Structure 1
Amino acid sequence: MAEWPDILVQHAPSELTARRLIAQLRACEVSALAFCRLLERWGRGVAEPATAGGREAALRHAADRVETALAGLET
């Protein structure tokens, strides 16, 4: 069974286009997983960073990474 990147390469107008899209989709995947894992840890009671301000900054940073990755898909 072919992996999704292979399918994109087969159907994209050019290999370069496919590679760029694959890289951006992977960035979206990685950043979204990091965001979810952060929330998951907090849901389990692992308050890391230890301060409320640190947690707010970590959440903002994770959300910014997701937003940046998604914005890259629009270009």
Structure 2
Amino acid sequence: MAPTTTKTSKAKATNGAGVKKAGRPKATSKNSNARTAMAKMQNYFKEHRAQFKDLSFKDQQKELGKLWKSAPENPKNAS
């Protein structure tokens, strides 16, 4: 059996070097716009999925995608 070693703790630097700050970094506007658009699309799909309940999931996604492209909720159509 190999001898076990114990870890000794060293005092951390007080200047904050190497310390991660709590929380997530702020998203850039491009990323936040993309996240918002994705959330809107997912919500739209969830609301309209019942129209295509007789289709397989893959075919539902295709049909919902076609509807989403022309939907007024789509941010690309907001212009």
TM-score range, shorter chain: 0.3 to 0.5
Q: Which is richer in helix?
A: 1
Q: TM-score, normalised by structure 2?
A: 0.36
Larger radius of gyration: 2
